[in-house]
Chain A
Amino acid sequence: MAMNIVVCVKQIPDPADPGELDPNTKTLKRDVKLILDEADSYGVEMALQLVDAAGGGEVTLVSMAPDDEVGGIRTALAMGAAKAVLVSDEALVGSDALGTAKVLAKAIERAGDADLVITATESSDGYTGTVPEQVAELLGLPSITFAKSIEVDGNTIKVKRQTEAGYDDVEAPTPAVISVTAGVVEPRYPSFKGIMAAKSKPVDEVTVADLGLDADAVGWAGARQEIVEIATAETREAGTIIEDEGEGYAQIVDFLADLKVI
C-alpha cells in the first residue's frame, strides 16, 4: 500500500556559527545562510524508510521562511524527498508557535492527502516544542509525540513513544501527526546523485494569502506570545581538577560518595 508522508522541516542558522539575538525583537537573527535543522533530518529519514517499506508513495516537505530560502529544503530533497511546499512571506517574521502551526497546517493541506505527518519534537533554534501538537489540533488529527519508532499496519500507526522510564506502545488511526525524537534513526547522507536530482524537484512556493490565511493571523501581528526578556545563560563554573599523585582515586571516590551515587 503506497504511503504519502508530509514532513515539516525548518531551516535554521547553522549552529556551527553561533547565532545572535536581535535586542529589539528578542529573536534569533535569521539573515544568514540557513540549513536544514538536524532535528528534522531524523523525521525525513524515518519518512523515507516508511515509504520504502510501504513499497510506494512519496515524501513531501513543508516549510516556512520569511524569505525564499531553500538551502535546507534542498538537503532534504537530496536525501530523497520528492517535493516541497515552501511558505515564503515577509508577513511570517515574528510568528509565534501558534502562528507557525496555523501556516504549517494549511501548507500540509495544500501538500495533498497525507497518510502521516511527521515533525521533530522541537526545533533546534526555537525549542518551544509545541508546534506539532498545535498542528494536529488545527488539522483535527491524532497527535503522538516522542516517537522512537513508527510501524504502519494497514490504517493503524503503531508507535513506540519514548518516556523517561522506557517507552509506551501507542496506536492511532491514520492520518496522524507524529513527532520523532532525535537520534532514533541514522539520517542518510545526501548522495551525489541525490544532490543533482534535488535541483529539478518541485518546490511549490506560496504566500500566506495563497493559503487563505489573513496576514494578521501570523507574524508579529498575529503573535499572542511575547518575549519579555532575554538574558545570557550563566556560564558553567569550571570543574575541579584533581592532580593525580597516586592518591587521585580516593578523591574521586569521595566526590562520588558526596553525590550519593556510590
Chain B
Amino acid sequence: MQFSDDHEMFRRTVREFVSNEINPHADEWEAAGTFPAHELFSKMGDLGLLGLTYDSEWGGGDADAIYTMILAEELGRSASLGVAMAIGVQTDMATPALNRFGSDELKANYLRPAIEGSMVASIAVSEPDAGSDVAGIRTRAVRDGDEWVINGSKMWITSGTQADWLCLLARTSDEGGYRGMSQMVLPTNTDGFAVSRRLDKLGMRGSDTAELTFTDLRIPVSNTIGVVGRGFQQQMAQFQDERMVAAYQMVGAVELAMERTVAYLNERMAFGAPLIANQYIQYELAEVAAMLDINRHHNWAAAEAASRGEDITRHATVAKLTSARLARQMADLAVQFHGGMGYVEENWPARFYRDTRLWSIGGGADEVMLRTLARMNGIGSD
C-alpha cells in the first residue's frame, strides 16, 4: 500500500495525541480501573478522530477505511490497550450500525454527539449466558404502543459505567435463534437502567467494564436502529468493523512491543554479551516479525476492501483470529525475554501480557472465528 502525505500527517497527529493525551495518564487510569471518557473523547472529537468514515452531514470525515486503520494502529501503540479498546468501541463497535441503518433523528441525537465526543457510547450485545453465541441472548423488548419495554441484563459492557447511550441488541419477538432481534439506542439516563456492578478484569484495566440491568425500561420505538427484526444481521455487520479495529490495534501493539523488546535485549547483558546476541532469541522474534508482516498486509487488504464497500467478513475473521494470537505470542516472548523485569507491574510487558489476552476472547472468541471460517470453507456442517 502506498500511503499518501495526508495519511502520514494523520498518523503523526494520532501518534502525538497518544503520546501527550493518553500515555502520561495511563498508569493513573489503569490503577483507577477507568478513564475520563468524556474528557478524552471530546479532545478526540475536536480533532475529528471519532467519526472518520462517517458522513460529514453528521460531523464525520467522509474518509476511507485506511484512516480507520491508521488511527487504530496508533492507538494500539498506546500505553493502555484498555483505553484504546474503549475508543474503538466508540468509533467502530457501538456506532457503525447507527451510521448505516439509523434514522436521521437518531443520528442527530446520538451519532453526531458520539462523533463530537460529547456522548460516550457502548455496545450492549453479550449477556451473562450468551456471549459469542449471540443467538442465545434473552434481553427482551416488548412493544407497548409507541414504546419498547425492556427487561434483561447485559455483560462485559466496555465504558458501561459512563456511557450516555447503548447500542442494544434485544429480542423483539418470540421467533427464537437469529430471528426476532432488533437494535436500538438506549439512553442510560432512562428510568429502569442500572449499572449492577463494575467488573474487575485480568487486563484492559484502563477501561471500565460493567454488567448492566434493565427493569421495565421504556424507550420510544423510534429509537430502533434500522429494521425491527433485523437486529442480528445488522449486528453481524457491525461485528466486522469491531473485529478489524481489534486487528488493526494488535498490529500497532505488536510492532511497538517488538521495538521495545529488541531495544531492551540490545542493552541487557548476560553471559558477557547483549541478550539479543542469542540466536534462539533472534529467531523467536523473527517468527513474530514474519507474522506481523503478514497481518499488516492482510489488514491493508481488508481496509482497501472496506473502502470499496465490499463484505469484509472473511478478512475480519482471519485478521481478528491471527492478530490476537500473534499479540499473545509477542506478549509471552516480551515477558519471557525481560525475565523478572517483565513480570513486575512497573514494566510494560506485564500489562501488555494481561491486556493482549482479551482479544482472543472479546469481539467473538478465537473458536467462533474458527467456526465462521470452517463454515465459509465448507468444512463440516452446523
Contacts and interface: CB of A to CB of B under 8 A. Distances in A.
B16 A192 contact: no
B5 A192 contact: no
Contacts of A196: 6, 61, 63
B17 interface: yes
Contacts of B67: 192
Contact of B13 (A71, A189, A199): A189
How big is the A interface, by class? 10 to 19
Contact of A74 (B5, B17, B48, B52): B5
Given A71-B5, A78-B9, A199-B6, A192 B46 contact: no
A32 to B, nearest CB: 14
A contact face: mostly helix, strand, loop, or mixed: helix
B85 interface: no
A193 B12 CA distance: 14
A189 B48 contact: no
A162 interface: no
Contacts of A189: 13, 16-17, 47
B19 to A, nearest CB: 11
Interface in A87-119: none
Contact of B46 (A74, A78, A191): A191
Contact of B48 (A71, A75, A192, A199): A192
Nearest to A199: B6
Given A189-B16, A189-B17, A195 B46 contact: no
Contacts of A75: 9, 12
A193 B61 contact: yes
Interface in B240-297: none
Contacts of B17: 189
Nearest to A190: B13
Interface string A194-212: 0110010000000000000
Q: Which of B9, B49, B67 has the largest number of chain A CB atoms within 10 A?
A: B9
19 contacts: A71-B5, A74-B5, A74-B6, A74-B9, A78-B9, A190-B9, A190-B12, A191-B46, A192-B13, A192-B49, A192-B52, A192-B63, A192-B67, A193-B61, A195-B6, A195-B10, A195-B13, A196-B6, A196-B63
Interface of A: 71, 74-75, 78, 189-193, 195-196, 199
